């Protein structure tokens, strides 16, 4: 696969770069910072040296030119080196440090030095449709947009192995989930909560694991950046809203690899969850690669009226409904209509699997594939005709 230009821009100052395995952090670093000095902490000998004496990093940095960029790859493996990095930054050393990792959990839980806010945080996400030369919606829904999978000769095999790689290398090795069997059952059970309101009690029952353990497992998923929660939009609410967030697996293909399927599972139910998740991961990446000018929510009242996504902030105010259908019916627009009654300033968007662009009243009805292809961090949401 030819190198893909990503939307993530490298800050001029020192920064953390987080992202799940397979999102292409190393590839991005080679493209964006080709002259950087890389200290690969996945190399056992390098990690052993710095675990034993973190101050040895001074010798490595001392051998680089003033003004050089030093990459510490998978820094969570040796978190104590951050104290050394902090001392360099505090001394106004001209070198820039890039600290990559697939999890901030070990850093945060260990109470180590996170550079006192002197380094900004960036995240790398699966591909956005607009980053690809060609975007195939059906392929994205089935295999996702994880660069590791997209570039693979046998993507289905890589996708099937992805969850077990995390289970073995990240979860079990770090001792975050001591019972690997219970965690595997949890992964299957929680996949049914993808694109749904999170009910920890139900997940615990289905996975035969205690509720408090499931709550801890969900935190593990989030810390590994394998899942994320979308909170309820409650600004100036006129109706009583629910309190629980929605849960999403970070990539549509990874969701499908975790989701068990059988004769009682309706394909349209799984396809609908995958489509909503695909839109969620795009909106999340779009927000991450922009200035902090908006946040992602969903809206659901106690009576069950719902809108899948609300984007709200200085950048704008949008309500977005996602329908896995080729034809939009009046009942598909009821959630947006109800939201517009309470929030008349919101711009209303319905994304669907059809090919025609329409405007029904205040609601824009847009083909989801074209919407995703036009979604770019340097522009507002692609609603108005170009």
Lowest-confidence segment of 19-33, 116-130, 132-146, 261-275 by average pLDDT: 261-275
Maximum mean pLDDT: which of 108-117, 154-163, 190-199: 190-199
Question: Rounded mean pLDDT of 137-163?
Answer: 93
Q: What is the pTM of this model?
A: 0.92
Q: Is the pLDDT of residue 236 over 90?
A: no
pLDDT of res. 373? 97
Write the DSSP symbol of residue 195.
T
Fold that domain 15-123 belongs to in CATH: Rossmann fold (3.40.50)
- Find out whether 57 and 181 touch, Cβ atoms under 8 Å: no
- Cβ neighbours of residue 26 under 8 Å, at least 6 residues apart? 73, 100
- Please provide the average confidence, as pLDDT, over all residues in the chain: 89
Q: Count other Cβ atoms within 10 Å, centred on residue 21.
A: 18
Structure-model confidence comparison of residues 44 and 110, the more confident one: 44
d(CA 111, CA 187): 28
d(CA 99, CA 16): 5
Which three-class secondary structure string do you get for 316-328?
EEEEEEECCCCCC
pLDDT of res. 140? 97
Q: Is the pLDDT of residue 235 over 60?
A: yes
pLDDT of res. 314? 94
Using CB atoms within 10 Å of the CB of residue 91, give its burial: 0 to 12 exposed, 13 to 18 middle, 19+ buried.
exposed
Structure-model confidence comparison of residues 247 and 79, the more confident one: 247
Q: Is the pLDDT of residue 348 over 90?
A: yes
Domain boundaries, the chain: 15-123, 129-374
- Cβ neighbours of residue 359 under 8 Å, at least 6 residues apart? 365
pLDDT of res. 164? 73
Per-residue exposure over 97-119, b if at least 16 CB sit within 10 Å of its own CB, e if not: bbbbbbbbbbbeeeebbbbeeeb
For 163-179, what is each residue's pLDDT tens digit? 777 766 666 665 655 67
Q: How big is the CA angle at 10 (ends 288 and 289), to the nearest 5 degrees? A: 15
């Amino acid at each position: 696969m030819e190198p893909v230009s990503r939307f993530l821009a490298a800050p001029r100052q020192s920064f953390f770069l987080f992202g799940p395995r397979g999102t292409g952090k190393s590839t991005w670093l080679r493209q964006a910072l080709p002259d950087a000095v890389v200290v690969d902490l996945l190399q056992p000998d390098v990690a052993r040296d710095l675990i034993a004496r973190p101050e040895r990093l001074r010798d490595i940095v001392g051998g680089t030119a003033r003004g050089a960029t030093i990459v510490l790859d998978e820094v969570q493996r040796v978190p104590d080196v951050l104290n050394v990095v902090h001392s360099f930054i505090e001394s106004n050393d001209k070198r820039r440090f890039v600290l990559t990792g697939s999890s901030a959990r070990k850093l945060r839980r260990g109470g180590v030095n996170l550079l006192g806010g002197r380094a900004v945080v960036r995240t790398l996400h699966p591909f956005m449709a607009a980053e690809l030369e060609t975007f195939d919606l059906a392929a994205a829904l089935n295999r996702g947009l994880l660069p590791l999978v997209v570039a693979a000769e046998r993507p289905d095999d890589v996708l099937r192995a992805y969850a077990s790689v995390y289970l073995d290398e990240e979860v079990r090795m770090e001792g975050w989930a001591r019972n690997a069997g219970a965690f595997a059952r949890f992964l299957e059970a929680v996949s049914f909560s993808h694109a749904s309101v999170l009910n920890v009690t139900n997940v615990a029952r289905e996975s035969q694991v205690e509720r408090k353990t499931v709550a801890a497992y969900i935190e593990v998923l989030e810390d590994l950046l394998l899942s994320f929660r979308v909170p309820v939009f409650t600004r100036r609410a006129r109706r009583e809203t629910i309190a629980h967030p929605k849960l999403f697996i970070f990539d549509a293909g990874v969701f499908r690899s975790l989701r068990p399927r059988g004769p009682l599972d309706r394909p349209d139910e799984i396809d609908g969850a995958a489509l909503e998740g695909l839109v969620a991961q795009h909106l999340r990446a779009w927000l991450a690669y922009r200035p902090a000018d908006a946040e992602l929510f969903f809206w659901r009242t106690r009576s069950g009226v719902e809108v899948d996504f609300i984007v709200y902030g200085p950048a704008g105010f949008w309500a977005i409904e996602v329908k896995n259908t080729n034809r939009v019916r009046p009942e598909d627009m009821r959630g947006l209509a109800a939201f517009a009654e309470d929030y008349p300033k919101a711009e209303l968007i319905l994304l669907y699997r059809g090919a025609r662009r329409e405007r029904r009243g205040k609601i824009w009805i847009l083909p989801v594939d074209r919407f995703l292809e036009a979604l770019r961090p340097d522009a507002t949401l692609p609603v108005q005709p170009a």
